[in-house]
Amino acid sequence: MKKQTKALPKQLEEALLAFRHTMTSALVKEAKAQGWSLSHFEIIKYIAEQGNPTMKDIAGHLYITPPSASTLIDTLVAKKLVVRTEEPKDRRTIRITISPTAQKVLASIYKKKNSIFTAMLSKLEQEDKNDLARILTKCISL
């Protein structure tokens, strides 16, 4: 049996980064095909996951200032991909929701991502898939 010390962690790191890069590249390619920038895709994805976040929530998620987030949202409003709504109890609070058009595009992008993910995993036997899921779950459980 070969002794593996530092080579294995580096190999795993590179494999995980390559896996992430492959998935991210596929998402970016699909988003760009729809005329979306990566920032727009990230915002729309976040809004879809959160329901109707505030502008402050979006800025925090992207690690940008609220005015910068507002500029990005303005572009998405102009493209009719998101809708701004004032909070009834506090008109200073603006909530953002995605439009039905954006929902359809997002579903298409996720369908493509799932297809790529499935193709990547198709190279593994079922037992290997189960082991991979178990091992990764163990690794991310802090």
Could you tell me if residue 137 is inside a domain?
A: no
Instruction: Return the pLDDT at 112.
Output: 86
Asked if residue 77 lies in contact with residue 97, where contact means CB atoms within 8 angstroms, the answer is: no
Could you tell me if residue 131 is inside a domain?
A: no
Q: What is the pLDDT of residues 68-77, one digit of tens each?
A: 989 999 999 9
Q: What is the pLDDT of residues 42-66, one digit of tens each?
A: 899 999 999 899 999 999 999 999 8
Q: What is the CA radius of gyration of the chain?
A: 19
Whether the full predicted model's pTM is greater than 0.75, yes or no, is no
Structural domain count, the chain:
1
Per the structure, the complete domain to which residue 98 belongs is given by: 21-114
Q: Which two tokens stand for residue 60?
A: 């925090």
Could you tell me if residue 36 is inside a domain?
A: yes
Alpha carbons within 13 angstroms on the beta-carbon side of residue 6 total 0
Cα(53)–Cα(115) distance, integer angstroms: 29
Could you tell me the CATH number of the domain that includes residue 26? 1.10.10.10
Alpha carbons within 13 angstroms on the beta-carbon side of residue 28 total 8
